[in-house]
Amino acid sequence: MFLPIILWTDALIFVLLAVIAAFAFYARQHEHLRAPWRRVAQTPAAVSAAVVLLAFVAVGFLDSLHFRQAIEPAGNAEAKRPAGAATAYAPEVKSVLDVALAHLSSRTERTYSAPLATHAYAKETMEVPGRGQVRDYPRLRNGGAHLKDAETEWGWDILLTVFKGMGLALFAWSIAAFLLLIAVKPTAPAYASIGAFSDAVWRGKTVVPWRTVLITLGLIFLIVVPATLLARGYHVLGTDKVGQDVLFLSLKSIRTALVIGTLTTLVMLPFAVLFGIMAGYFCGWIDDIIQYLYTTLNSIPGVLLIAAAVLVLQVQMEASPELFPTTAQRADFRLLFLCIILGVTSWTGLCRLLRGEALKLRELEYVQAAQAFGVSHWNIMLRHILPNVMHIVLISVVMDFSGLVLAEAVLSYVGVGVDPSMISFGTMINAARLEMGREPMVWWSLASAFMFMLVLVLAANLFADAVRDAFDPRVRVSPRNRHMAEAAAA
């Protein structure tokens, strides 16, 4: 009844997940790779951040499973459709998240409304039976529509729903905690029974800080469950100018942010690694060419290169509309292009680091021994140099993520970010930046976008810090790739 659609970025996300899974499987079997990850897992801030990040990734993943729904012909479908005829599919590409949040996206208002409001944000002239024309705040179409007498019932209804949600959250959390404890008990064989283990967790004595995991999980439950219950009757974070639910927009933005943060690195990684290692290993004219290449690209201010490239792309896409049958595919292509061009501007930092490291490694005895044995250059680079620079690659990947998420917002503000039809934190902020000047002030769109971004980026930063400390406390990855975020602030 539906046709699965794999957009370009979806495909790359699946590739990325496969790579991560393969790497995890590989790392499990090698002690030298497992040890630093164990150190990450023992940092309370890092595991807490990881739980939050996983929640974001789950939302983003659901939003990456795209499909097109089949259209049922009107009337008696079975009779009208000839046997074997192709099913018609809706032109709109939806994701699993869209379906799960259908009740949020479909219930729109006419314009702004405050979080949890039952009445519109501005007065309107209405016809009231018996009183003629009245200027008052009209009731919302969907916000609190289940209340008969909104003024008196509103407060109690919300309070009751929140309490109900909290109760439900605690219940769900205790089940989740129980299952988690049973699942992770085999990793701690030192404890005789599950009781002794949970006692140690309760007192925070376990090696991996499971208590932190449970507390973080509990906080997420305490926020998510009441919000879900409230969202059935209200707009939890209000609505924007065209009446769309802000909570829905914020949740949809997560995928865009994650795609920009991860795929950019995935796209640029092969070039950075290959060129960096080649430059450092071969030296001589190859080194000169690669150095020239990255210095030249680096000389063009990042934002301007991105702006120029996106402007050119816009013109090209206008010229050939037949390549993109649906708006989703068009927006997706532009997102992918943005990732690629961001990658082009940000691979130079990693490339330089890798070159420096490869320069050092090629002088070491084991590389010289391999050369003496007649191992080919490719094999030396692949087997002897690459594994020894992987920690730099990993550190720079996790460090870049947060900078890229912040850069997306800035680029979308400048007008060279994602497609205007694509929901992202940048487009949300861009649409809302004049709302602070309104009277009364509309603060909820901006506040929601900034809050979601803050939580995501803060978690990413904390996690990245732990990874860096665990893998190599001496490697200094300079904050070069934050230049776009900084340019925005400066």
Partner 1 sequence: MTAYIVRRCLYAVLILIGVNLITFWLFFKVNTPDDMARMQLGAKRVTAEAITRWKAEHGYDKPLIFNAEAAGMSRMTDTLYFQKSLEMFRFNFGQSDDGRDISHEIQTRMWPSLALALPVFLIGLAAYISFALLMAFFRATYIDFWGVVLCIAMMSISGLFYIIGGQYLVAKIWSLVPISGYAPGIDAAKFLFLPVLIGIIGGIGSSARWYRTIFLEEVSRDYVRTARAKGLAETTVFFRHVLKNAMIPILTGAVVAIPLLFMGSLISESFFGIPGLGSYTIEAIQAQDFGVVRSMVFIGSVLYILGLLLTDISYTLVDPRVRFE
Q: For residue 370, what are its two tokens?
A: 């391999």
Q: Which one among 42, 219, 413, 469 touches partner 1, defined by CB under 8 A?
A: 413
Count the alpha carbons within 13 Å of 303 in the hemisphere toward its beta carbon: 17
Q: Which one among 201, 431, 446, 470 touches partner 1, defined by CB under 8 A?
A: 446
Q: For residue 164, what are its two tokens?
A: 């109900």
* Residue nearer to partner 1 on the CB measure, 106 or 295: 295
Span near partner 1 by CB under 8 A; candidates 31-39, 115-123, 364-372, 406-414: 406-414
* Residue nearer to partner 1 on the CB measure, 383 or 433: 433
Spacing of C-alpha 2 from chain mean position? 26
305 binds partner 1 (CB under 8 A): yes
344 binds partner 1 (CB under 8 A): no
Report the nearest approach of partner 1 to the CB of residue 490 (Å). Answer: 5
Site for partner 1 in 451-470 (CB under 8 A): 453-454, 457-458, 461-462, 465
Residues comprising the chain, all counted: 490
Distances (CA, A) of 20 to 25, 26, 161, 187, 256: 9, 10, 40, 21, 19
Report the nearest approach of partner 1 to the CB of residue 315 (Å). Answer: 5
* Residue nearer to partner 1 on the CB measure, 397 or 429: 429
Q: How does 400-418 read in b/e, with b if 16+ C-beta sit within 10 Å?
A: bbbbbbbbbbbbbeeebbb
How far apart, in whole angstroms, are the C-alpha atoms of residue 482 and residue 401? Answer: 10
DSSP class of residue 364 equals S
Q: Are 63 and 95 in contact (CB under 8 A)?
A: yes
Report the nearest approach of partner 1 to the CB of residue 297 (Å). Answer: 8
Q: Which one among 145, 196, 304, 369 touches partner 1, defined by CB under 8 A?
A: 304
How far apart, in whole angstroms, are the C-alpha atoms of residue 287 and residue 279? Answer: 4
Span near partner 1 by CB under 8 A; candidates 120-128, 227-235, 354-362, 449-457: 449-457
Nearest CA-CA partner of 314 in 218, 395, 415, 452: 415
Q: Are 16 and 263 in contact (CB under 8 A)?
A: yes
Q: What angle do CA 116, 120, 124 make, to 5 degrees?
A: 170
Q: For residue 457, what are its two tokens?
A: 């980026």
360 binds partner 1 (CB under 8 A): no
Q: Which one among 295, 368, 376, 379 touches partner 1, defined by CB under 8 A?
A: 295
* Residue nearer to partner 1 on the CB measure, 45 or 200: 45
* Residue nearer to partner 1 on the CB measure, 97 or 353: 353
429 binds partner 1 (CB under 8 A): yes
How many residues contact partner 1, by CB under 8 A? 53
* Residue nearer to partner 1 on the CB measure, 221 or 401: 401
* Residue nearer to partner 1 on the CB measure, 12 or 410: 410
Helix (H) or strand (E) holding 16: helix 8-28
Q: Are 290 and 278 in contact (CB under 8 A)?
A: yes
Residues engaged in binding partner 1 (CB under 8 A): 292, 295-301, 303-305, 307-309, 311-312, 314-316, 318-319, 402, 406, 409-410, 413-416, 425, 429, 433, 436-437, 446, 450, 453-454, 457-458, 461-462, 465, 476, 478-479, 482, 485-490
